[in-house]
Amino acid sequence: MQYAVSDVNDHDRYKILTAFVLPRPIAWVTTIGPDGTVNAAPFSFFNVFAEDPPIVMFAVNKRPDGRIKDTWTNIKRTGEFVVNLTDEPLARAMHDSSGDFPPDVGEPDYLGLKLAPSVDIKPPRLADAPWSMECNTWQVINVKDDRQLIMGEGLRFHIRDELWDPKAMRVHMEKYHPIGRMFADRYCRTDDRVIFPAAEGPKKAAAAD
């Protein structure tokens, strides 16, 4: 089966993409509104793309009725945000924060999520997140006035202490239980893992004596 992109409407394109490009990591983005309200919203069109400088990108689309989401409104005004990752204990709250909250109702406050101050920017991070990165806006790409691709430059990492070995610079995978986005209301756990030996390319035969 095949589809030309031009023959499929945008809703069905979304369904095809999200049905197969998975699992996707989730950026749980915290921003701050003009009245000080802290917004937290999840985005699964997201990933990291560089380390020097650290660059993340996520997509913010309009709501179905055409309203601009609070995350983009806040970032456009301040140029600052925090990308928080989520794990199994926080997964339900992350999902619930995707609801349609009015701008003056902060998801962390409504859902009982603890906040912690950032160091280099004003928006706080989610205190219980396994990993967070404070970001300044690096670049924004406007896609057809319907979606913003927001690229952030990381300024500071926050890692939950028990998850990280600072000597080896490695995560304790047996303690880290991230959640991935599938499609619709479906998510996946990531504890069923496979380890392969280091890959080696084809080796040339030794020259004969």
The yes/no answer on whether domain 5-189 falls in CATH 3.90.550.10 is no
Q: Write the pLDDT tens digit of every residue in 1-21.
A: 999 999 999 889 999 999 999
Q: Write the pLDDT tens digit of every residue in 147-205.
A: 999 999 999 999 999 999 999 999 999 999 999 999 888 999 999 989 999 888 887 66
pTM score = 0.92
**Quick check: 208 pLDDT over 90?**
no
The candidate with the shortest Cα–Cα distance to 158, out of 120, 111, 112, 191, is: 120
Q: Tell me which of 63 and 77 has the higher pLDDT.
A: 77
Report the C-alpha gap between 43 and 59 in whole angstroms. Answer: 7
Q: Write the pLDDT tens digit of every residue in 180-196.
A: 999 888 999 999 989 99
Phi, psi of 106 (to 5 degrees): -85, 130
